[in-house]
Amino acid sequence: MPLGRRVRQDGQDPAWFDDAAGRLVRPYTVSNGRTRPTAHFDLLTMVMATGRRTPACQGPDHAQVLGLCRGPVSVAEIAAHIHLPAVVTKVLLADLVDCGALTARAPAAVSAGPASRTDRALLEAVLNGLRKRL
């Protein structure tokens, strides 16, 4: 194995990842240069695998995404796990939705009334917890 390469435990092929350089395949190569997904995804959109596999969506990046979608997971989480920009991740997800391998559910809208206000005590508790961890 060449110097600087190691076996990856996150599922990435070590031939395409170098410790010093990072991912050796440019992100937009993964999406064939496409920057617009065929479906609308918010970063909070939840996706989940349907169990259906089609030959059109059998690339290594598609397989990696499908492996992460055994249960409901957000677009943002998937992008973080596969170390790709959100727009490229959305293109991959749209491919998988188009071929029936994934289902997507948009986040629920929150009404803009007094009942939808976030509890200040809850926000302060979260902030204090984050401060303790950092």
Q: Is 97 helix (H, G, I), strand (E, B) or coil?
A: helix
Is 60 inside any structural domain? yes
Is 23 inside any structural domain? yes
Q: Which pLDDT band holds residue 7 (cuts at 50, 70, 90)?
A: very low
What is the pLDDT at residue 88?
85
Is 87 inside any structural domain? yes
Q: Tokens at residue 125, please?
A: 């508790």
Is 129 inside any structural domain? yes
pLDDT digits (tens, 9 = 90+) for 24-39: 455 555 656 666 777 8
| φ and ψ at residue 73, rounded to 5 degrees | -145, 145
Is 1 inside any structural domain? no
Question: For residues 124 and 122, what is the distance between their CA atoms, to the nearest angstrom?
Answer: 5
Given the structure tokens 């986040």, which residue do they identify? Answer: 107
Q: Is 119 exposed, middle or buried (0-12, 13-18, 19+ CB in 10 A)?
A: exposed
Domain extent for 70: 14-133
- pTM of the predicted model as reported, rounded to 2 decimal places: 0.60
Is 5 inside any structural domain? no
Question: Considering its fold, how many domains does the chain have in total?
Answer: 1
pLDDT digits (tens, 9 = 90+) for 46-60: 999 998 877 777 778
